[in-house]
Amino acid sequence: MQSNLLEATGPAAVPQSGTTKLPTPPQRRLSADDAVDIWIARWLRVRRKDLVQRYGCDPRRLYEIWEGKKHPAARAKALERFRVDYPSLVDRVDFGPHQTRARNPDNPDQMVLFEEMETGKATETD
């Protein structure tokens, strides 16, 4: 059966690695309309990797939108459109602002967690 497939399509049509990559669009600037769509995609839990591939941009461009550095008005427009387009999801989505997480291992705030573990002062919550 596989030989018939190769004869019909030719060996060049069968990917070598077993996976196919979708072509990435050429890089371009993200517009305000793109920013609205990116906010909605974030709330719909579309993976960052898929957004990067869809818009052909660097992941940092997405974070510039989510942090409000680029197209700050897009979030409000996206929220209005989300409420109209997805009314059943409004109560299940976290519309909070993007929060950056410190990855600096020398951050003194993080060391408090280890100190509490060593001394046994970790507090338990009910």
- Phi-psi region at 72: left, alpha or beta (left = phi > 0; alpha = psi -120 to 50): alpha
Burial of 29: CB neighbours in 10 Å, binned 0-12, 13-18, 19+: exposed
User: For the whole model, what pTM was predicted?
Assistant: 0.61
Model pLDDT for residues 5-33, shown as the tens digit of each residue = 434 444 444 445 555 665 656 677 899 99
**C-alpha distance across the termini of the chain, in Å:** 61
Model pLDDT for residues 68-123, shown as the tens digit of each residue = 999 999 999 999 999 999 999 999 998 888 887 767 666 666 666 666 666 665 55
Alpha carbon distance 47, 51 (integer Å): 7
